[in-house]
Amino acid sequence: MQNLVVSPSNVQPMPQTAFSLNMPGVDELFPGFLPGDFAVLYGSRAVATLTSLLCVRAQLPPQLGGLGSSVVFIDGGITFRLYRVAQLAQLHDLNPEEALRRIFISRAFTAYQLTSLVMEKMEETVKACDAKVAIISDLASFFLDTNIAAEEAQSIYSQILAYLADFARRRQIVVVATYMPFENSKRNTTLQQLTYQNATTVLCFAKTAYGKQVILEKHPAYMLGATKLPSKTKTLNDFIGDYNG
């Protein structure tokens, strides 16, 4: 991914259909996900638990920045945390048990299982539960496994990325994938570049010497830029505070 930082001058007003993060300061930079978005979150391990927040906020009504929707969650890195979703549901005045029932989880343990869940099972699940949000956690990790030949990994991963971008556009839903931090390698660099190229929206959650920062690196409509995360936000501390990366 590239760290493109442009100071925002004109932030567009949030469309009524935007699915927002509801983070002071961040919402001014990034008003929210739009139908048809294929968004990638990366930069810090905090993005793993940010997906818990998205699972809850997706269920809120549109007037509160949600989509009034169930969520399809494909867990590629065993990142789903039931207790965290329950906590965040309570913070958003939702019944935790009901909120969890509206999240349809599938877990993958190999690259081939993840490929099957995304390219063969996801669409029917989205249709069945009428979901407007699909989340794929830890998208790249299985394809960084050296037991898979680099050429094969790159080929399959490219197909998944193209499918996700097309699926989001065709179904007009929000698709969010997380790309976790990994050691620098030629394969990781290649997969990062492919991810950036295929995503319509790229958000980086970074830790700097001056605090935590969110960078909007790619978006077809919003002004790109960066903003500092506020330190006194309970919801933010719930998922950011557990991670040092």
Domain contains 161: yes
Model pLDDT, residue 46:
83
Q: Is the pTM of this model over 0.85?
A: yes
Domain contains 71: yes
Domain contains 17: no
Domain contains 184: yes
CB 112 within 8 A of CB 155: no
Domain contains 8: no
CA distance 41 to 136: 11
Contacts of residue 195, Cβ cutoff 8 Å, sequence gap at least 6: 1, 40, 42, 139, 140, 161, 177, 179
Q: What is the CATH number of the domain that holds 78?
A: 3.40.50.300
* Planar angle of CA 149, 113, 102, nearest 5 degrees: 145
Strands (E) across 62-210 are located at 71-75, 103-107, 133-137, 174-179, 201-208
Tell me: pLDDT of 186 over 70. Answer: yes
Number of domains in the chain: 1
Residue from 225, 224, 228 nearest 209 by CA: 228
Query: In terms of residue numbers, what domain contains 215?
Result: 26-239
Domain contains 58: yes
Question: Residues 226-230: what's their mean pLDDT?
Answer: 84
Domain contains 34: yes
Question: Residues 215-237: what's their mean pLDDT?
Answer: 79
Domain contains 200: yes
Share of the chain above pLDDT 90, in %: 74
Chain segment 9-61, per-residue pLDDT in tens: 444 444 457 899 998 889 999 999 999 999 999 998 888 889 999 999 999 99
Higher pLDDT pick, 44 / 1: 44
* pLDDT band at 232; cut points 50, 70, 90: low
Q: Classify residue 231 as exposed, middle or buried by CB count within 10 Å of its CB (0-12, 13-18, 19+).
A: exposed
Chain segment 67-118, per-residue pLDDT in tens: 999 999 999 988 898 999 999 999 999 999 999 999 999 999 999 999 999 9
